[in-house]
Amino acid sequence: MNKHLRCVLVGMPGSGKTTIGRQLARRMGGTFLDCDHAIEREIGCSIKQFFQQHGEPAFRDLETQILADLLRRPAPYVLSTGGGAVVRPDNRALLKAGPPVVYLHAVPEEIHRRIAHDDSRPLMQVADPLAKLKELYRDRDPLYREVARYVMETGRPTVSSLVNTLLMQLELGASEESPVGPEAG
């Protein structure tokens, strides 16, 4: 296993970033980092509470700071970003300059099916959750694609097969970036 392997997962809420990220990190022998959890540790309350008290701009400022800190962590790691991290241009620049970014792609209908009964997700606490997911997808899909080196469809394959495919892609990409020949090392 490549001890320098790192990657960042982006995608809609419910796309599988945490589930796939944990298994991928375990397979890599690395650490799973969750940007939203790191933010909550930093602020001492839920993101939802912080949003209500301080607003989205203050949250996005903090998110940019935490994202930059997490990207500097030593490898190996898998970093899961919040679904809205790509909204801010500064965050997209950080993501493009860092380790390979993987967009875990899922269509709104699939996400809705996965998380419809999860009352801990603020997105599901609206009158029409599917309409909200479609709106977010329309706005964010191009941004996820802008920062992604790889796009993985999460609709059909099992988590295990997704992790295997992703690990092969990351290892292949890492070996292609490594110097080879007599000049190496």
DSSP H helical ranges for 15-55: 17-28, 35-43, 47-54
- 126 domain residue, yes or no: yes
Grade residue 2 by pLDDT with cuts at 50, 70 and 90.
low
pTM strictly above 0.85:
yes
Residue 167 domain-assigned (yes or no): no
**15 appears as a binding residue in the annotation:** yes
Please indicate, yes or no, if residue 19 is contained in any of the structural domains.
yes
Q: Is position 17 annotated in a ligand binding site?
A: yes
pLDDT reported for residue 120: 65
Confidence tier at 157 by pLDDT (50, 70, 90): confident
Q: Does 138 show up as a binding residue in the annotation?
A: no
Which CATH number goes with the domain that contains 115? 3.40.50.300
Q: What's residue 176's pLDDT? A: 66
Say whether 161 counts as a known binding-site residue: no
Is the pLDDT confidence value at 108 over 90? yes
Q: Is 180 helix (H, G, I), strand (E, B) or coil?
A: coil
If you ran DSSP here, which 8-state letter would residue 124 be given?
Answer: G
The reply to whether 80 falls in a domain is: yes
60 is in an annotated binding site: yes
CB 135 within 8 A of CB 35: no
Does some domain include residue 99?
yes
List of residues 6+ apart from 58 with CB closer than 8 A: 50
Residue 16, annotated ligand binder?
Answer: yes
119-140: pLDDT as tens digits: 666 666 788 889 999 999 999 9
Residue 155 counted as an annotated binding residue: no
Structure tokens that stand for 110 in this block: 């699939």
Give the confidence band of 179 by pLDDT, cuts at 50, 70, 90. Answer: very low
* Domain range enclosing 66: 6-161
Residue 92 has pLDDT above 60, yes or no: yes
70 inside domain: yes
Give residue 183's pLDDT band: very low, low, confident or very high (50, 70, 90).
very low
- Does the pLDDT value for residue 180 go beyond 70? no
Classify residue 171: in a domain, yes or no. no
pLDDT in tens, 29-83: 999 999 999 999 999 998 888 888 998 899 999 999 999 999 999 889 999 999 9
Establish if 181 belongs to a structural domain: no
Name the domain count of the chain.
1
